Amino acid sequence: MEKSQLKKILNNIKDIPTLPQVFVKLTELVNDPRSSAKDLGRVVSIDQSQTARLLKLVNSSFYGFPRKVASVTEAIALIGFNAVKNLCLSISIFDLFADSNGASGFNREKFWQHSIGCAVGGKVLAKYIGYPEKEELFIAGLLHDIGKLLLDQFFHDIFQQITTLVRERDMLMLEAEREVLGLTHAQVGQMLAERWKLPFKLVDPIAYHHQPRKSRRFVKEIAVVHLADILCRAIDLGWGGDNRIPEVDKESWKTLNLKLSALEPIMREMEREFAEAAAIISNYQLRN
């Protein structure tokens, strides 16, 4: 299938999930430098369940703030405008995809575990490389395989063929996708992210996490997601759709400037934080 052909099909799918209006408004406000925490708080508070879940997350060990944060505006003033936007985005995406069950034999629960593992990997790696915007890497990790969900939801038959091929030949999902579809989940994810008008800082890691060298911008962010994905597979956090562990890209490894001896503590920290993050995120799904 041609890329343009799939794009056409994607554009014609009416059921393609759209991000909630609250998130769209929130993005507009974050893009407006004159906005204040009060303005953002007003928009977030429109959705009661979102507010509750956001506060739960801000008060969780993910942030480890020593006092209790009682209001959304306080949370925004504390963790920043972009961080709140990213948290709202992750909550919205869980709302969009978490409930629906795939029919292609694709284990969604394990898939989300892999995504959460990758998100946690992003956060842990952010600490090790001194990257200040850890929420950005967290959300990039969480969304990196979003294309697989879209394929599972809207192209059942094709996706089933892909998963069967992966099972039979024990190959990487990426290779099976190329063989069956002529496209990869990374490309599909990129199209969805672009359609959602997500920032390029998120679009690029989704698009290039398997081929980091193809992108010239956000090299660090892509390298982090690329490595986090591989580490998740290495320590069996969830299931990304296949049982293979891809090779680490040399350039990405160089970009991150990590020592080999750091890998062991990183993986240990990922395992430790994964349990906490999974518990927090399972709360996402419990509305109110």
Binding site for another protein (CB under 8 A): 30, 32-38, 41, 64-67, 73-74, 76-81, 130, 132
Question: What does the chain come to in residues?
Answer: 288
CB of 180 to another protein, least distance (A): 44
> Which residues, other chains included, contact 124 with Cβ-Cβ below 8 Å and sequence gap of 6+?
228, 266, 269, 270, 273
Cα–Cα separations (whole angstroms), residue 61 to 56, 68, 128, 269: 10, 11, 18, 14
CB of 47 to another protein, least distance (A): 19
Instruction: Supply angle C-alpha 200, 123, 140, rounded to 5.
Output: 25
**Distance in Å, CB of 30 to another protein, minimum:** 7
Nearer to another protein, 42 or 56 (CB): 42
Nearer to another protein by Cβ, of 30 and 55: the residue is 30
> Which one, 14 or 259, has the nearer CB to another protein?
259
Least distance to another protein from the beta carbon of 3, Å? 33
Q: How many angstroms separate the CA atoms of 181 and 261, rounded?
A: 39
Within 10 angstroms of residue 62's Cβ, the number of other Cβ atoms is: 20
Nearer to another protein, 85 or 233 (CB): 85
Displacement of CA 156 from its chain's centroid (Å): 22
Residue 235 CB, nearest distance to another protein (Å)?
A: 25
Q: For residue 99, give the nearest of 111, 110, 108 by alpha carbon.
A: 108
For residues 15 and 132, which CB has a smaller minimum distance to another protein in the complex? Answer: 132
